[in-house]
Amino acid sequence: MIKTFIIHVSKGYEDRRQHIDSHLPERGITDYEYMLRGDIDDLTPDIRNNFFSDRLSLPEMSCLYKHYLVMKKVVEEQIPQVLVLEDDALLVEGFVEKLEKFREEIKGESRYLINIEEASNLVPLSIRKPNQSLYLCKTNKLTGGLVYDLEFAEKMVELLDSTVTDAPIDGLIGNERQTLHYNIYWTHPPLVRQGSKTGIFASELSGRSSGLYATVRSWFKEGYRTHVRSHLSKKQKALFENVTKY
């Protein structure tokens, strides 16, 4: 099985850890590692000044830094390919088998990130092709479910070690594709949804609340974005047209 990391805040989010520890084994993932370092309390003035501009909120800084620490671990341990999930991840049934299909499709390539999260954005119907799961895209989505290789991690670690960033991790990945020359793929079907987007968990990053009202509101709002706008928007379709492959 692919090496798996979970982005998790070590204090105050015990419900999310309980969710991961019950949900992932149900979906066939029993071997995974939490990234507990990088909580807001761990962000010393030196880290904040060297990594982030003051445009980012503390939760955004912490989330980015945790992803950076995973990438750095990938580089230090020379892990060829990694699965990274955030701690509110909801995986589809048959996750392992479907992920293996994606890994087979990407075999032989390097410098890539595969976004396996739905994130209220689907590959438009007009772009999809029979027997194809991965679609080259100009930008990234959110970071609830990612697969990437060692070469991608090396590029990102080098960037973050040498630059002060003013973008959260999801935006940073999309912004730097052309500069660092890596490929971003969206998948159809996506394999992950974020519980904080469906109303199951509250989100400090987005300000979303949890509960029945939030769940119902999310069902309508995110449902429109996912199943209508994804297919009708010309901007959405353009993300997959004339994409430079590196």
| Parent domain of 193 | 3-238
Residue type, 45: P
Residues of 169-178 as b/e, b for ≥16 C-beta within 10 angstroms?
bbbbbbebbe
Q: How far apart are CA 70 and CA 6, in angstroms?
A: 9
**Is the Cβ–Cβ distance between 28 and 109 less than 8 Å?**
no
Domains of the chain: total? 1
- Is position 232 within any domain? yes
- Is position 244 within any domain? no
**How close are the terminal C-alpha atoms of the chain, in Å?**
27
Amino acid 228: pLDDT: 72
- Is position 243 within any domain? no
Two structure tokens written together for 85 = 């999930």
- Is position 97 within any domain? yes
Task: Read off the pLDDT of residues 193-215 as tens digits, 9 standing for 90 and up.
Answer: 988 765 566 545 545 445 545 55
In angstroms, what CA-CA distances link 72 with 58, 80, 140, 171, 184? 21, 13, 20, 19, 19
Amino acid 231: pLDDT: 75
Task: Read off the pLDDT of residues 14-24 as tens digits, 9 standing for 90 and up.
Answer: 999 999 999 99
145-149 and 112-115 beta bridge pairing: antiparallel
Comparing CA positions, the residue from 141, 125, 134, 135 lying closest to residue 231 is 125
Q: How far apart are CA 30 and CA 40, in angstroms?
A: 28
**Is the Cβ–Cβ distance between 5 and 35 less than 8 Å?**
yes
Q: DSSP letter string over 10-70?
A: SSS-HHHHHHHHHHHHHTT----EEE-TT-GGG--HHHHHHHB-TTS-HHHHHHHHHHHHH
Amino acid 195: pLDDT: 82
Amino acid 206: pLDDT: 47
Q: How far apart are CA 242 and CA 231, in angstroms?
A: 18
CATH code where residue 227 lies: 3.90.550
Q: How far apart are CA 210 and CA 204, in angstroms?
A: 11
- Is position 246 within any domain? no
H helix runs in the chain, sequence order? 14-26, 45-51, 58-76, 95-106, 150-162, 169-175, 177-180, 195-198, 212-224, 230-232, 234-238
Residues of 70-80 as b/e, b for ≥16 C-beta within 10 angstroms?
bbbbbbeeebe
Positions in the chain whose pLDDT score sits under 50: 203, 206, 208-209, 212
- Is position 186 within any domain? yes
Amino acid 210: pLDDT: 52
